[in-house]
Structure 1
Amino acid sequence: MNATTHDTTLLSDFDGSRRNNFTALRILFAWLVLFGHSFPITGHGELNPLREFFERSTWIGEIAVSGFFAISGFLVAASFVRRGMVDYCISRVLRIYPALIVCVCLSVVVLGASLTTLERSAYFSDPRTWNYFWNTTAMFPMSFRLPGVFDSLPRPGINGSLWTLPVEVSCYILLMFVGATGLLRWRTLANLAGVALLLFSINYFGDIPLVGRIEKWAEPCVYFLLGVGCYINRVSIPLSVALAVVAGGLAYAALGEPWFPYVFPPAFVYLIFFAAYRSPYLDLDRWLGDPSYGIYIYAWPVQQTIVYFFPEQGPYFNTALATIVVVLLALMSWHFLEKPALGLKRRWLKNSTGG
């Protein structure tokens, strides 16, 4: 790595470097989703203290999810370019599915079966119970309700956060096809294609294969594309304090303005990569691991369970108790499931190459 501490540092100077704060950012974003959800989940959405700050242009959970997709686009594009198709596909499968499958099964067999208002036999014979297992595929359409579970709560869904997973998997698949054409290695052509796709999506997002199914998917897809674009153009993106200040100012100025969708996303994405590479390094991978995915997928069901048992408590109680429980679950998921699953990649690659 040729990175320096002055303002001529380029994003490409950090190619291959593990000294970054992506894990810290992902953990922060996952927790912000938990915090943001605590208000509607407890029926106190109007009390969200950040509601007025963002002037209804966005909300903290939306920003956090967008950050996830920007980081994902950048890192998976790098993965494809550096390691190729087979490694890319195996890595994506091992990162998404083991933890998701366990989370879905626990939701149905443990949480749902324990808290449903139906008789146990009626619960397990209900088609909705078995339809929920489709969520293990992370493919559209997903189910968000289990029969007799959380029906009386302000937000009755068993795990509303899972809606982003089909979007992410669809983005992975599209990037795989694009990468197979070699386009990611041709910077000019890739940029032209990316700009054309953005312009096309303004009026015809629904016509884009895989990701155009639901209008709500447009925003995370834009951030994913911006992340991919940052990787492709990393040799021309300086990470400077001055530009970070400008980006922060533009992001703040865009709140509440009609031009928010055009200015905030690139400004926010720039701040993400500045924070990842130019802020003080937090070696969380060494001391903590990466529980961000576990925090994200377990937060909603844990928060719903807290509301179920403590219906009179508000969002801050929900946030505090859920944080403790969810972080513990996420750490167990990472150390005993996700990390060992990712360790299988070397064995799979060896078998796939006949080594």
Structure 2
Amino acid sequence: MAGGGQTQLADPLMGQNHFTAVRWVLAIAVVLGHIWLLTTGFEPFRIHEWTASYMAVNGFFVLSGLLIAKSLHTRRDMKAYAVSRFLRIYPALVIILAAFVLVFAPVYSAEGGGSLFQPETWQYTYKVLALGDPDSAPAQIFSQNLETDFNGPLWTIRFELAAYILAGIAFMFGAVNGPWRVLSVFLLVQSVYLGAPVFIDTSALPPSVMSLLRLSSAFLLGMTLWQWPILRRPPMLAVAGLIAAFALLGGGPLGELFATLALTSLMLRAGLPKRASVRIAKIPDYSYGIYIWHYPLLQVFLVGQPDLSPAVLAIMTAPLILLVAATSWHVIEKPVLALKLRARPINQKTVSPEVAA
């Protein structure tokens, strides 16, 4: 039965769940990976060649696809959808870019770069806001560190927004409106992503092409889960089977697919329990703040202290990262989300704010 055919009371996705806690875990996995990357140049948390931070990004996109599909099919209001997507991403993003212009660039750039009047500073800011590639070292920022980029994780933001836009267009044209249609689209994109390296030299393509296919595949997997509710509660035997398949075959050409499916099964088991804990369901969602703020904060601590060990860096930065993420949530993100929720139609009041897309 399609996702739209279930009643809200029967579907745990429409009530309290533990997906916020799952997002915390994914965000922490990204942070830990970057702590080691910025201090040693190598992420040790990996199975086969798949690092925990790499797979955490896939996990974020699977959850995003699931919740976006829910939002599209329950609200069916494209104007509200567009406003909601904008408000979820841009306010916090604007704040960190303002911090880049006013604090990070002037203080942590090489001498002569990064001032308020430096064109590179504003070009980088515009590029990020306009969904360009932010993987660069604007104004020679953090030039003495092992990694010289300002905020590497921001590279996924443009793909997240692209997924929102493409999902909305696909919904309007009916391409993802039904279990078999969305499954077909998912299988098509996944096949192109897996098959492209077999038939062409993908190194000759712009890196964004394969990244778009990779993250679109994960996002469409989430959208497929909305249309197939029976798949949202995988039995433990299926979870164990997917984990075993990844352990055995994760180094092959289908390795990433097995890894994403195994991770997704674990996220569904953890995020959609038969009986959700009210305490866990209501924890504040600091994951976005952790994700967009941790990298430049780690870089700041490494300025002048390049020999810090990963463990020491983690201990030193954890309180500050949590404080900044909490401030982002309570001062920026949550108030904006409250405005979005107040604008919802009355017939959506049964949807818990904790799972609002």
Fold agreement, TM-score > 0.5: yes
The corresponding residue for 1:155 is: 147
Matched residue of 1:183: which SS? coil
Q: Which stretch shifts more, 292-301 or 245-254? A: 245-254
Matched residue of 1:278: which SS? coil
Deviations 1:211-256 (A, max 9, x none): 9943233322211111111111124554322222222222322332
Matched residue of 1:185: which SS? coil
Counterpart selection for 2:99 from 83, 106, 114: 106
Structure 2: any 5+ residue segments left out of the alignment? Answer: 1-9, 201-205, 346-357
Are 2:194 and 2:253, in contact at CA under 8 Å, matched by a contact in 1? Answer: no
Code of the aligned partner of 1:24:
A
Matched residue of 1:157: which SS? coil
CA distance in 1 between counterparts of 2:321 and 2:331 reads 15
CA distance in 1 between counterparts of 2:229 and 2:173 reads 20
CA distance in 2 between counterparts of 1:253 and 1:312 reads 37
The corresponding residue for 1:17 is: 15
Are 1:294 and 1:333, in contact at CA under 8 Å, matched by a contact in 2? Answer: yes
The corresponding residue for 2:350 is: none
Q: Say if 2:141 is the partner of 1:141.
A: no
Q: Which stretch shifts more, 323-332 or 125-134? A: 125-134
Counterpart selection for 1:45 from 41, 44, 63: 41
CA distance in 1 between counterparts of 2:244 and 2:160 reads 29
CA distance in 2 between counterparts of 1:34 and 1:13 reads 32
Counterpart selection for 1:125 from 117, 121, 142: 117
Q: Which stretch shifts more, 225-234 or 141-150? A: 141-150
Alpha-carbon RMSD: 2.6
Written as runs of structure 1 = structure 2, the 5 A alignment for 1:137-286 is 137=129, 139-142=131-134, 144-203=136-195, 213-235=208-230, 237-278=232-273, 281=276, 283-284=279-280, 286=282
Code of the aligned partner of 1:17:
G
Q: Which stretch shifts more, 291-300 or 183-192? A: 183-192
Matched residue of 1:343: which SS? helix
Counterpart selection for 1:338 from 324, 333, 342: 333
Matched residue of 2:11: which SS? helix
CA distance in 2 between counterparts of 1:132 and 1:201 reads 29
CA distance in 1 between counterparts of 2:232 and 2:211 reads 29
Residue 162 of structure 1 deviates from its aligned partner by: 0.3
Q: Under a length normalisation based on structure 1, what TM-score does the superposition of the two structures give?
A: 0.84
Q: Percent identity?
A: 26
CA distance in 2 between counterparts of 1:223 and 1:244 reads 18
CA distance in 2 between counterparts of 1:38 and 1:279 reads 35
Q: Say if 2:27 is the partner of 1:35.
A: no
Are 1:150 and 1:157, in contact at CA under 8 Å, matched by a contact in 2? Answer: yes
The corresponding residue for 1:304 is: 299
Counterpart selection for 2:74 from 77, 82, 97: 82
Structure 1: any 5+ residue segments left out of the alignment? Answer: 1-11, 351-355
Q: Under a length normalisation based on structure 2, what TM-score does the superposition of the two structures give?
A: 0.83
Matched residue of 1:152: which SS? coil
Residue 160 of structure 1 deviates from its aligned partner by: 0.6
Residue 109 of structure 1 deviates from its aligned partner by: 0.8
Deviations 1:23-82 (A, max 9, x none): 11111111111100111211x134x4434xx122x1111011111111001001111111
CA distance in 2 between counterparts of 1:236 and 1:152 reads 49
Are 1:178 and 1:184, in contact at CA under 8 Å, matched by a contact in 2? Answer: yes
Are 2:44 and 2:51, in contact at CA under 8 Å, matched by a contact in 1? Answer: no
Are 2:233 and 2:268, in contact at CA under 8 Å, matched by a contact in 1? Answer: no
CA distance in 2 between counterparts of 1:168 and 1:304 reads 24
Q: Which stretch shifts more, 134-143 or 303-312? A: 134-143
Matched residue of 2:86: which SS? helix
Q: Which stretch shifts more, 29-38 or 142-151? A: 142-151
The corresponding residue for 2:310 is: 315
Residue 319 of structure 1 deviates from its aligned partner by: 1.8
The corresponding residue for 2:352 is: none
Are 1:38 and 1:319, in contact at CA under 8 Å, matched by a contact in 2? Answer: yes
Are 1:131 and 1:143, in contact at CA under 8 Å, matched by a contact in 2? Answer: no
Counterpart selection for 2:23 from 22, 26, 33: 26
CA distance in 2 between counterparts of 1:146 and 1:138 reads 16
Deviations 1:282-331 (A, max 9, x none): 53453x41100000000100000011142221111122222211111000
Are 2:153 and 2:295, in contact at CA under 8 Å, matched by a contact in 1? Answer: yes
Are 1:33 and 1:296, in contact at CA under 8 Å, matched by a contact in 2? Answer: yes
Q: For this pair of structures, how many residues does the alignment match?
A: 328
CA distance in 2 between counterparts of 1:202 and 1:70 reads 17
Are 2:30 and 2:291, in contact at CA under 8 Å, matched by a contact in 1? Answer: yes
